Amino acid sequence: MTGWFGKRALDPALTLITEPFVHPYMSANIWHLKGRDVDLLVDTGMGICPLTPEIDMPVGKPLLVVATHIHLDHVGSLHEFAERAGPAQSAAEFARMGETATYAQEFRELEGAVSRLPYPGWRLEDYRIEPAALTRVLDEGDTVDLGDRRFTVLHLPGHSPDSIALFDEHDGLFFSGDAIYDDTLLDDLPDSDPVIYRRTMQRLLDLPISMGHGGHGPSFDRKRMQDIAQGYLRRG
């Protein structure tokens, strides 16, 4: 439906796509980065309305979609795209998109799940995530090459066991998924592990990012990321 998504260009290469009518708890950031040889899409939102019409995809230029983890608000439209990459730790689950892995049932049970209907006849109780088998599996140290920039894959578990992020070691650009973001960090989901999450926060304190773009909330610089990580570590 026209108007379901919000779009904002941060610079000529990077666009932020959001779903402003989804409950804030579930409304995740979708990042589209134009590369010289390959475009990159980081996460795909809830899958309530088709995402592909929102993506400016030049004819003949590949688009690689990277899911940072398998939670519902990041994989809902993954099935719409041909080239699908995601974390090794949950790779087998993408072909099933089971409710235990994705938490899709939480959305169906969420009061005020959407603030307006996406289209006439839409029903919350019918919400499901389509299976989307990965065409590429990513793990710590792998690279995602766009031609004019190359990202290193970091495995940053805690929020979920499969959380990965993309880090450009050349200029410090960082797509963090839900490993870290500028909002309340969730570590109480059934597959979360606060002890492991603390190790991830310690690692992030030393990561020399220039700008981070998370799965939720506003973007952040290195100082803000350190503040977020230190704040989590102070929770005890």
| Residues 3 and 54: beta-carbon distance below 8 Å | no
Which DSSP letter does residue 185 get? P
What's residue 61's pLDDT? 93
Q: Tell the CATH topology of 6-233.
A: Metallo-beta-lactamase; Chain A (3.60.15)
The per-residue pLDDT for 58 is 77
Angle made by CA atoms 78, 83, 86, in degrees to the nearest 5? 60
For the chain, the straight-line distance linking the first and the last C-alpha, in angstroms and rounded, comes to 45
121 phi, psi to nearest 5 deg:
90, -5
Q: Give the pLDDT means over successive 10-residue stretches in the chain (236 positions).
A: 88 97 97 97 98 90 98 98 98 97 97 96 97 98 98 98 98 98 95 97 98 98 98 90
Overall size of the chain counted in residues: 236
pLDDT value, residue 2 = 64
Domains of the chain by residue range: 6-233
What pLDDT shows up at residue 59?
A: 83
According to DSSP, residue 198 is labeled H
3-state secondary structure of 200: helix
Model pTM? 0.97
